[in-house]
Amino acid sequence: MNPNSDLKNNESVMAANAESSTIKASNAETSTVDADYAESRISEYAARFAAYSDERLKQTIDHERKVRGWGSERSYFLAALRGECEKRGIDYC
């Protein structure tokens, strides 16, 4: 059989689609777990920042402006920090 025949290509496409569907389902589950984790981490940081005085919050902002590293955990930290600043009316940027 010619490897470029329509029948062979159709089978390959169907197999690829089936594999893609399995991967998408797996990614959806992982995405939900990741979102739950992110929300829990942001909530933990938010609780910590809620207990800070305005002065300590401003010191944290000043410090964080100098930090150039990035990662998912830092994004949760900064999301909570920004949220607390918005609640208090403190300039974040």
Listed in sequence order, the residues at least 6 apart from 72 whose beta carbon sits closer than 8 Å to its beta carbon are 38
Q: Would you state the pLDDT for residue 57?
A: 95
Q: What is the per-residue DSSP string for 64-82?
A: HHH-----HHHHHHHHHHH
The model's pLDDT over 69-91, given as tens digits with 9 standing for 90+, comes to 889 999 999 999 999 999 999 98
Listed in sequence order, the residues at least 6 apart from 68 whose beta carbon sits closer than 8 Å to its beta carbon are none
Q: Would you state the pLDDT for residue 62?
A: 94
Q: Would you state the pLDDT for residue 48?
A: 97
Segments of the chain with pLDDT less than 70? 1-31, 33, 93
Q: Would you state the pLDDT for residue 2?
A: 52
